[in-house]
Homo-oligomer: A and B are copies of this chain.
Amino acid sequence: MLDEEKWFTEICEEAGSAFSLRIERKLHEEHTPYQRIEIYETTDFGNLMVIDGFIMLSARDNFFYHEMMAHPVLFTHPDPKRVCIIGGGDCGTLREVLRHKGVKKVWQIEIDEQVTRLAERYFPELCEANADPRVKFRFTDGIEWMRQAKADSLDIVIVDSTDPIGPAEGLFTEAFYRDCLNALSDGGLLIQQSESPLIHMDILLPMRKAMAAAGAADVKTLFFPQCVYPSGWWSATLARKGGPIEGFRHKDVAKRAFPTRYYNEAIHQAALAMPAFFLERVRG
């Protein structure tokens, strides 16, 4: 049995599974107006952020998720300049986005400022680019912000949210995607984390349908490992306004001037490969 003093455990009720990390100590706990945030120091995964009992990220393995939320969508767009991140308060996705020199402006819209303040303190490596003058931080409701966004004002929208329960629920709806597509310029791209392909097809498939119903011309799902999330296998779903999602800027990926730990040209291509069962469900 796992000693509660020495392990943090997240139970995934819908899958009948649980994942635990061994901890040295709890570093912080607070209730914000939105949620309960805990920070732990683990023995092997570095610092760990937990929101409402669900693991958000560990220092050791967040690179999978953050790289895959940023680089595939940015390298799919021919010339992304204006990027909006909805959620993403830990700033890990933001750091990856800012590595793209062509990006001129990034709006980071996080509802809970404490997520960012705690990331600055406990995950400073993810926040190292926060002072970049290209970033505008807005601590406000992303759904409302997107509703008011000007048409054709963005090239990329990245929805880096928690699961579709609580404050993030409205980020998984056709109405929200419609607002995103309105804010995007023609050829613009939206990407959203879309849960585990093994456990959460009941979220993933409706999300894809809602994106299409909102007017996306094409929708594609990316698959990648993410150890600390349920099943260890995660996805992000890409939607394009005004045309099909066809290929990406291979040469720019190959000659990129910044480091990555997971992402590269072959991994980008690989992430687009649909497992047999997924293909069947998407086509069926």
Contacts and interface: CB of A to CB of B under 8 A. Distances in A.
Interface of A: 1-2, 4, 7, 9, 11, 15-22, 42-45, 61, 198, 223, 225-227, 231-233, 259-264, 266-267, 269-277, 279
For A231, A232, A270, which residue has the most chain B Cβ atoms within 10 angstroms? A232
Given A61-B198, A227-B233, A273-B266, A16 B22 contact: yes
6 closest Cβ contacts across the A-B interface?
A: A232-B232, A16-B44, A270-B273, A270-B270, A266-B273, A16-B22
Given A16-B43, A19-B19, A264-B275, 18 more contacts: A9-B18, A16-B42, A16-B44, A17-B45, A18-B20, A18-B21, A61-B198, A227-B231, A227-B232, A232-B233, A233-B233, A261-B275, A264-B273, A266-B273, A267-B274, A269-B269, A269-B270, A270-B273
B233 A262 contact: no
Count of this chain's copies in the oligomeric assembly: 2
Contact of A17 (B20, B223, B266, B279): B20
23 contacts: A1-B4, A1-B9, A2-B2, A2-B18, A9-B18, A15-B45, A16-B21, A16-B22, A17-B44, A17-B45, A18-B18, A18-B21, A198-B225, A198-B227, A225-B225, A225-B231, A231-B232, A233-B233, A260-B276, A261-B275, A263-B276, A264-B275, A269-B273
Contacts of A267: 273-276
A25 B3 CA distance: 22
A259 B43 CA distance: 43
Contacts of A19: 17-20
A232 B7 CA distance: 19
Contacts of A225: 198, 223, 225, 231-233
Given A17-B45, A231-B227, A266 B274 contact: yes
B21 A44 contact: no
A232 B269 CA distance: 21
Nearest to A226: B232
Contacts of A264: 273-276, 279
Nearest to A229: B232
Contacts of A259: 276
Nearest to A271: B270
Nearest to A280: B261
Contacts of A276: 259-264, 267
A195 to B, nearest CB: 14
Contact of A1 (B1, B15, B42, B272): B1
A263 B223 CA distance: 14
A225 B225 CA distance: 7
Contacts of A61: 198
A267 B279 CA distance: 11
